[in-house]
Amino acid sequence: MLRVFAILVLLFKAGWVSADILQASSGPVQVSPMIVGLDTPWAIGILPDEGFLVTEREGELLYVKGGKAKRVKGVPKVAANGQGGLLDVTIARDFAQTREIFLTFSKQQSSKAGNAVAVARLSESGDRLTKVRVIFEAVPGGRTGKHFGSRVVEADDGTLFVTIGDRGDRPAAQDTTNHMGSVIRINRNGTVPGDNPFVDNDDVRPEIWSFGHRNPQGAGLDAQGQLWISEHGARGGDEVNLVQPGLNYGWPVISYGVHYSGKKIGEGTAKPGLEQPEYYWDPSMAPSGLMVYSGNLWPEWKGNIFVGSLKFDYIARLAGSPLQEVEQIKGLETERVRDIVEAPDGSIWFISVGQGVVYRMTPGI
């Protein structure tokens, strides 16, 4: 409780914590702290009122505006175990009219815990959620605290993409009678869109959009509205995938990594009918948040993909065809980058779990 109180009264003012300058291919980049003292922050949601929301995995949601942070009441109860807890937050495209936000979290399900998605309204004061509704729960859940995935992205048509990890049960990612190891697509009220790829297949959960994923912790749309995800491999084989409906992305049948024991995974790196990643890392860099950049402040980065590294403490910039990692943006501020998003003004915001800070990145002077 003392830590929460400290966060609630925290004021960020220019001069308290100075901005730093990092070097990038575009020239100097200014990195400014927006809130400090966070405990296992997981996701950022930028609001149109110049405020922002940030989740903490143990179950806290904070509203920050004008240098002041408030704890938001009314957050769903989370099963904070291992990698589970309060995870992603996404601001609805029509927030100005509806004030709706989407949350993903691990929800207790008897003796198990499963991915859940909730929609709620943020009060005008920013300190309370109302009309909280759980619109999706993954079936069947799991007993481990691993591999929740758990990003939520609102598509251009208003449907929601949600990433779900294999929960440490590798074969489950190929079993389409459950939601493990998949990307799902649902309407904002939780119903199944009629054009989902498996909606008429009784052997597949109708919410499934793609499957064969291990632990996709990053997700974002490009300018064409296509979904890109980043996902953890085992020992090697971290991937960036362009997700298409109805396709199988191979885990654990194919992988560019090996088990932590050093043993081979599955049948090799390729098999007919299974998708190849657009890019992969070996050794693993532990990818988390992913964002496709608009080019607003850095025109030369338009369409580039940014992915945070939890293991090697940098922000990867990927570009080209075939896709390649072309730059690593790195400094003290990039210690364990969990989330990365673009604000409406084109600035790039990211979470450093290691620092317990949300940072804002802009072109340097």
Q: Catalytic residue positions? A: 147
Residue 195, CA atoms < 13 Å, CB-side half-sphere: 3
User: Is the torsion defined by CA of 33, 35, 38, 41 positive or negative?
Assistant: negative
- The residues, any chain, with a CB within 8 Å of residue 83's CB and separated by 6 or more, are 145, 146, 147, 148
Residue type, 137: E
CA–CA separation, 63 and 119 (whole Å)? 16
List b or e across 113-139, with b for residues whose CB sees 16 or more CB atoms inside 10 angstroms.
bbbbbbbbbbeeebebbeeeeebbbbe
Q: Which residues of 86-111 are buried (b: 16+ CB within 10 A; e: fewer)?
A: bbbbbbbeebeeebbbbbbbbbebee
What lies within 8 Å, CB to CB, of 261 at 6+ separation is none
> Residue 134: which H helix or E strand, with range?
strand 129-137
Report CA torsion sign: 316, 319, 325, 331: negative
Cα separation, 149 vs 248, in Å, equals: 17
Token reading at 249: 């992305």
**Single-letter amino acid code for the residue at 126:** G
When computed from its CA atoms, the radius of gyration of the chain, rounded to whole angstroms, is 19
Identify whether the C-beta of residue 219 lies closer than 8 Å to the C-beta of residue 290.
yes
**Strand partners for 52:** 46, 64
Q: Are 29 and 317 in contact (CB under 8 A)?
A: no
Cα 290 to chain centroid distance, Å, stands at 7
